[in-house]
Amino acid sequence: MNIETRQTLYVGINFFFSPMAIIDKHTYLNFQRALSECGIDFGRSEFTEREIGIYRDSPIQFTVKVIAVGPPGVGQLLVLAPQFGGNLSLFAKEVEAVIKAFDNTWPMPRQIIRSDATVQDLFESNTSHAFQELWEVRLKQQPASLAPLGRPVLGGGLRLVMPPQPQDTGPTQIEIKIESFLTDSRKFFIETSFVWPQPLPLGTTLDPTSRLNQVNQFIEGNVIPFARGEQS
């Protein structure tokens, strides 16, 4: 796997909190105004009884959702770039601006109940097929070991789920997917997801930059070396 070819496809960060933000026509308009004041440009918006959606298609796709999730009193703030191809630090700054607009629209003490973040990357394979590299080079399996399946294998990969550890600040649950990219078999698709399941004290500030940095550091320091079979 060629680490120099890293291309980030998707970034998303998600917060569940209490009390829930009040969603109505008034807060819908105020949130749009607050986003503009905080430097977030967007092309369209949607409003329903339980959700506000903000969307931007260019230069980088960007979606913001404020959702009344339930059970009663639980809300959600979701920010994602579904077709990213950009810079993680730039995305983090935009999320910081979204949170500032969110706080300006709903200025109340709240408790973070749970949060999560996901990053999806593509890497070029060092062979003609990423699954071949994963199966034969990384996992040291013989091609013939797939014969019992009775048909050719188009692609595949690994899924690893790791529970929180005592030394974690959070704690943090991590899930990794490493697989061949089905639409281009010469590339690896790697998805790294962090979950912070522990509620934080009332009034704790939403901190997307540190969470996204934590995910990215784990990708660079742990996921990529593991995928390449490097010894620690």
pLDDT, tens only, 194-209: 999 988 888 888 889 9
User: What 3-state DSSP class applies to 160?
Assistant: strand
pLDDT in tens, 53-83: 999 988 778 999 999 997 778 999 999 998 7
Q: For the chain, how far is it from start to end, CA to CA, in angstroms?
A: 17
CA distance 190 to 171: 23
CA distance 47 to 152: 48
pLDDT in tens, 126-182: 999 999 999 999 999 999 999 999 999 999 999 999 998 887 777 799 999 999 999
Tokens 């979950």 -> residue: 195
Q: What is the reported pLDDT for 231?
A: 72
Contact partners, residue 209, CB within 8 Å, separation at least 6: 92, 93, 95, 96
Q: Is the pLDDT of residue 32 over 80?
A: yes
Q: What is the DSSP letter of 24?
A: S
Q: Is the pLDDT of residue 86 over 90?
A: no
DSSP code string of 174-211: EEEEEEE-TT-TTEEEEEEEEEE-SPPPTTPPP-HHHH
Instruction: Using a pLDDT cut of 90, give the percent of the chain over it.
Output: 79
